Amino acid sequence: MKFLTVDIGTGTQDIFLYQSGLALENGFKLVVPSPTMMIFREIKSATRQGQAVALSGVTMGGGPSHWAARDHLAAGFPLYATADAARTFDDDLDLLQQSGVQILSEEDLKELPAGVRRIELKDFDFQAIAGALAGFGVSLSDLAGAAVAVFDHGAAPPGYSDRQFRFDYLAERLDPGEDGALGLPLSRLAFRRGEIPEKMTRLRAVENSAGELDAPLLVMDTAPAAVLGAALDPAVRQRKQVMIANVGNFHTLAFRLQSQRVGGVFEHHTGLVDREKMDRLLSKFAAGSLTNEDVFGDHGHGALIYAREPYRLGEGDFDLVVTGPRRNLMRGSSLRTYFAAPYGDMMLTGCFGLLAAAADVFPELGERIRESLFPAAEDDSGLPPWELD
């Protein structure tokens, strides 16, 4: 059985092809530029050559691509976009038009002069991934399924805080529905094709981009996928309670997990924290005294704590598990840190988390995936590649 996982971040997209019967350490993998970085380079090239740019496709991750679009307009060159593509930069199309982006229909876009640089936006390019692997003799024609992770703020109503809207979504998905209970498992933030909430526009755009994929699809938020993956590290999964921080390029999320259920979560902007602030936030988070106002009032997203009992620091070999592309922010922390590397590969942490979520969301695949994630003999598991069919 083959199952494709793709974890799409700001800097890279990390791709892992799971094959049952093959030890995860032997799996085929790619770490390549993220889609938003590819679009960033395309727009920058058009700016250097003095070309107008026309963006089509679907809503995808912004950040670098948004900065390039802004610089392109500032240089005095036209930038056209369909409404769906433009929402990559902001859900408020009126605001985008005021900034100089010209919103056109697909038909009007086709009528633009031939010299306009046309760029299609999408996070998940199954055809490109399949083509890359095909160059090495690996076919994706027989996939049992695929899972893709992206970060999604969701489409907040006009005048409503994007930060509050995203944290409302996390609370809604993880709420156990009864006072005093732990939050639900992180796989609650993973969705099958056709079951994605309408307000999660980037997740739905991934679904819309996956038309060439003739297999079940799962989509999930990147940070919970990374935390699920970090929890698979052998040193971490033996703990009944654990605190894990995913330090991303733009967003940092920390979770307290207890028997695979969420005991608490907070989310902040990575650019607004340093090691000392993170130590303070995490210490209050462990004690159960961190409030939503503490984080939201500091221009973060918010905090939720379900577990009544504090998470005790100073017990066991470490206080905090760290993962994410900016994990070095926590080196030298006053907390005792452990830098997770599940199955020997930190870069694929999100992909392994997607596998774990897929085992929950696709019961028909769960047993085989779990056999690989938790092999009976961890020092001698899986067939070598040359013995696979």
pLDDT value at position 230?
97
Fold match between domain 35-121 and domain 234-340? no
Q: 346-350 long-range CB contacts below 8 Å, 24 or more apart?
A: 347/12, 347/14, 347/31, 348/7, 348/14, 348/16, 348/29, 348/229, 349/7, 349/226, 349/229, 349/230, 349/323, 350/5, 350/7, 350/9, 350/14, 350/149, 350/222, 350/225, 350/226, 350/229
CA 200 to chain CA centroid, nearest Å: 13
Q: Choose the weakest-confidence range: 144-158, 175-189, 373-387.
A: 373-387
In contact, 101 and 79? CB cutoff 8 Å: yes
pLDDT value at position 212?
87
Instruction: Please give the radius of gyration of the chain, using alpha carbons only, rounded to the nearest integer.
Output: 21
Q: What is the pLDDT of residues 73-102, one digit of tens each?
A: 999 999 999 999 999 999 889 999 999 999
pLDDT value at position 173?
95
Identity at 118, one-letter amino acid code:
R
| Predicted confidence (pLDDT) at residue 385 exceeds the cutoff of 80 | no
Q: What is the pLDDT of residues 293-339, one digit of tens each?
A: 999 999 999 999 999 899 999 988 999 999 999 999 999 999 999 99
pTM: 0.93
Fold of the domain spanning 35-121: Rossmann fold (3.40.50)
> Would you state the torsion angle of the CA atoms of residues 224, 225, 227, 232, taken in this order, to the nearest 10 degrees?
150
Q: What is the pLDDT of residues 155-164, one digit of tens each?
A: 888 889 999 9
Could you state, in order of their start, the residue ranges of all structural domains in the chain?
Answer: 35-121, 234-340
- Model confidence at 177, in pLDDT bands (50, 70, 90)? confident
| Predicted confidence (pLDDT) at residue 195 exceeds the cutoff of 80 | yes
pLDDT value at position 17?
98
Q: In what order do the strands lie in the sheet with 2-8?
A: 28-33, 12-19, 2-8, 143-150, 217-221, 190-192
Beta bridge partners of 29: 16
| Predicted confidence (pLDDT) at residue 149 exceeds the cutoff of 80 | yes
In contact, 151 and 35? CB cutoff 8 Å: no
pLDDT value at position 342?
97
Find the mean pLDDT for residues 238-253.
95
Fold of the domain spanning 234-340: Nucleotidyltransferase; domain 5 (3.30.420)
pLDDT value at position 376?
74
Q: What is the pLDDT of residues 259-296, one digit of tens each?
A: 889 999 999 999 999 999 999 999 999 999 999 999 99
In contact, 303 and 286? CB cutoff 8 Å: no
| Predicted confidence (pLDDT) at residue 383 exceeds the cutoff of 70 | no
- Model confidence at 377, in pLDDT bands (50, 70, 90)? low
